[in-house]
C-alpha cells in the first residue's frame, strides 16, 4: 500500500516538474518521438510490403493453385544449381499436359502458361511492350483473371486456334480510347485478333503495370511464337473433387513421376511452386530486412535516452535544495529515486505514445499521397512503447541514484 502511495506522490511531483518546464520537456521528448516514429514507419513499410507481396502472390497463383515446370524454384539459385535442374528435370510439353488431363483431368484443372513482350496495334495506334500471354481456357478457374466486360475464350476456340484475345485496360485506353474494345480488332505479330473480353484495372506491381496483358489461346500463342518445347503449367483441384491444394499437388506429382519414369526414392525430375513457398521466401527476405533496419532505426532511441539522462541530471542539480528539504523531512533514498525515475519514465512513455501517433499519421499520409502499402501493426507499436519505456528507465537510473545519495545537509546549503 505504501508503494502505491509513494508512486502516486512521485507521479504528482513528476507531472508538476514537466508542467513547470513545458518547452524543455518537449525538446527532451523529441529524440524519443523521432525514434519511435521511425520504428513505426519502418515497421509499417515492412508489414505493408509483406501484405503487398501477399496480394501479388494471390493474383499470380490464386488461393489454392500451384505451378510446375522444368525450373520453378523461388530463391537465390546459383547458375550451377539452375544448370543442374535444367539438365536433370524434364520440360513440360503439350503432350505431357495432355497426359495429365487424361489421367487426372477429372479431378484437377490444368493450364499451360507462356508469356512474352510484343507491340500491339489497333485503330492506327500502337501500344509498345504489352505482355502477351498464352493459356488454356481453364485459366480463369485456376487463378484470378478479373474480366469486367465480355468473356474469356472457350475450349473450342482454343482447340480450333481461333485468333481471339482478352485485353487489359491500358491496351484498351491506348488503342480504342473511349470505346469498350469488345468486337474490335488488334494485331499482334502481324496477326489480327478479335477482342472478346476486357480486364478490370489491376494497378501495378513493383513498378510494373498489370493492366497491359493480352490473353490468347495457348495453341495460337505457340503457333505464333513457338514454345512447344516446354512451358510452366498451372494446376488446381476441381471444386467437385474435394481435394485440397496439397492433395491435388500430390496427385499431379504422382502422375508426372510415372509419366517421366522417376525412380522410387529419387527426387522429382521436374520442379513445382506453391503460394506457401512464395510466401515463405518473401517472409524470410522481410525478416532479414527487419533484423537489420529496425535495430539501426532504433539507434535514434538511444540518442533520445542520452538527451533524457542529460536533462534529468540538470533537473537534479536545479532541485538540489528541494531534495535536501524532502530528506530532512524523512524521505528515504528509495523515495527520491522513485520520484526521478518516475519523471524519466513518464517523459519517455509520453514521447513513445506521441511517436506512435506521428508514425501512424505519416504512414497513412504516405499511403494516401503515393498509393504506397503501409500497414501499422500491433507488434511494432508494442515494441516501440516497450523500448521507449526501457530507455526512460535506463536513462533515469543514474540521475535518480545521484539524487538519492545526496547528503541532506549539503543539499540544504545549495542555492
More confident of the two residues 143 and 314? 143
Per-residue model confidence (pLDDT) at position 375: 77
The pLDDT of residue 407 is above 70: no
Residues whose CB falls within 8 Å of the CB of residue 136, separated by 6 or more in sequence, listed in order: 110, 111, 112, 155, 158, 217, 218
Per-residue model confidence (pLDDT) at position 263: 85
Confidence of residue 328 (pLDDT cuts 50, 70, 90): confident
| pLDDT tens track for 302-320 | 777 777 777 777 777 766 6
The pLDDT of residue 414 is above 60: no
Cell output for 394: 535506463
The DSSP bridge pattern shows strands 233-237 and 204-205 to be unpaired
Distance of CA 58 to the CA centre of its chain: 13
| pLDDT tens track for 39-49 | 888 888 888 77
- 47, 380 in Cβ contact below 8 A? yes
List, as one string, the DSSP characters of 201-247.
Answer: P--EETTEESS-EEEEEHHHHHHHH--TT---EEEEE-GGG---HHH
Per-residue model confidence (pLDDT) at position 6: 62
- 200, 146 in Cβ contact below 8 A? yes
Confidence of residue 254 (pLDDT cuts 50, 70, 90): very high
* Domain residue ranges in the chain: 2-56+284-413, 90-269
More confident of the two residues 173 and 58? 173
The pLDDT of residue 173 is above 70: yes
What letter does residue 261 receive in the DSSP assignment?
Answer: T
Confidence of residue 218 (pLDDT cuts 50, 70, 90): very high
| Percent with pLDDT over 90 in the chain | 29
Cell output for 68: 510446375
Mean pLDDT of the chain: 82
Q: Per mean pLDDT, which range of 19-33, 83-97, 212-226, 321-335 is the poorest?
A: 321-335
Per-residue model confidence (pLDDT) at position 3: 59
pTM of the full structure? 0.68
Give CA separation, 171 vs 153, 190, 325, in Å: 18, 17, 81
| pLDDT tens track for 87-133 | 888 889 999 999 999 999 999 999 999 999 999 998 788 999 999 99
Listed ranges 63-77, 82-96, 214-228, 297-311; the one with the highest mean pLDDT = 214-228
Per-residue model confidence (pLDDT) at position 415: 53
| pLDDT tens track for 238-247 | 999 889 988 9
Amino acid at each position: 500500500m505504501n508503494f502505491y502511495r509513494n508512486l502516486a506522490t512521485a507521479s504528482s511531483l513528476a507531472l508538476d516538474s514537466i508542467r513547470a518546464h513545458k518547452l524543455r520537456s518537449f525538446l527532451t521528448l523529441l529524440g524519443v518521438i523521432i525514434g519511435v516514429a521511425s520504428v513505426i514507419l519502418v515497421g509499417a513499410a515492412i508489414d505493408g510490403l509483406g501484405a503487398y507481396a501477399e496480394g501479388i502472390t494471390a493474383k499470380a497463383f490464386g488461393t489454392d493453385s500451384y505451378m510446375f515446370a522444368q525450373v520453378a524454384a523461388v530463391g537465390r539459385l546459383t547458375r550451377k544449381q539452375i544448370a543442374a535442374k535444367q539438365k536433370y528435370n524434364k520440360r513440360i510439353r503439350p503432350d505431357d499436359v495432355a497426359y495429365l488431363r487424361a489421367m487426372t483431368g477429372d479431378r484437377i484443372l490444368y493450364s499451360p502458361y507462356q508469356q512474352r513482350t510484343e507491340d500491339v496495334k489497333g485503330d492506327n495506334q500502337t501500344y509498345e511492350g504489352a505482355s502477351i500471354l498464352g493459356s488454356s481456357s481453364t485459366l480463369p478457374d485456376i487463378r484470378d483473371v478479373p474480366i469486367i466486360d465480355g468473356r474469356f475464350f472457350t475450349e473450342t476456340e482454343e482447340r480450333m486456334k481461333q485468333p481471339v484475345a482478352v485485353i487489359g485496360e491500358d491496351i484498351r485506353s491506348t488503342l480504342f480510347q473511349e470505346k469498350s474494345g469488345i468486337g474490335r480488332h488488334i494485331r499482334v505479330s502481324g496477326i489480327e485478333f478479335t477482342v472478346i473480353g476486357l480486364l478490370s484495372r489491376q494497378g501495378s506491381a513493383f513498378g510494373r503495370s498489370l493492366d497491359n496483358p493480352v490473353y490468347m489461346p495457348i495453341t495460337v500463342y505457340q503457333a505464333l511464337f513457338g514454345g512447344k518445347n516446354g512451358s510452366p503449367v498451372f494446376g488446381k483441384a476441381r471444386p467437385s473433387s474435394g481435394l485440397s491444394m496439397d492433395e491435388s499437388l500430390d496427385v499431379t506429382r504422382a502422375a508426372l513421376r510415372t509419366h517421366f519414369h522417376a525412380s522410387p526414392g529419387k527426387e522429382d525430375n521436374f520442379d513445382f511452386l506453391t503460394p506457401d513457398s512464395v510466401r515463405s521466401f518473401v517472409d524470410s527476405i522481410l525478416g532479414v530486412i527487419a533484423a537489420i533496419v529496425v535495430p539501426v532505426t532504433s539507434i535514434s532511441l538511444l540518442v533520445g535516452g542520452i538527451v533524457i539522462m542529460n536533462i534529468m541530471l540538470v533537473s537534479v542539480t536545479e532541485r538540489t535544495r528541494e531534495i535536501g528539504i524532502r530528506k530532512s523531512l524523512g524521505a528515504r533514498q528509495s523515495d527520491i529515486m522513485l520520484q526521478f525515475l518516475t519523471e524519466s519514465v513518464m517523459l519517455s512513455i509520453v514521447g513513445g505514445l506521441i511517436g506512435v501517433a506521428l508514425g501512424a499519421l505519416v504512414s497513412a499520409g504516405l499511403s494516401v499521397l503515393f498509393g504506397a502499402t503501409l500497414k501499422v501493426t500491433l507488434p511494432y507499436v508494442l515494441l516501440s512503447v516497450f523500448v521507449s519505456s526501457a530507455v526512460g528507465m535506463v536513462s533515469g537510473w543514474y540521475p535518480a541514484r545521484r539524487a538519492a545519495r545526496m547528503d541532506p545537509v549539503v543539499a540544504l546549503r545549495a542555492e
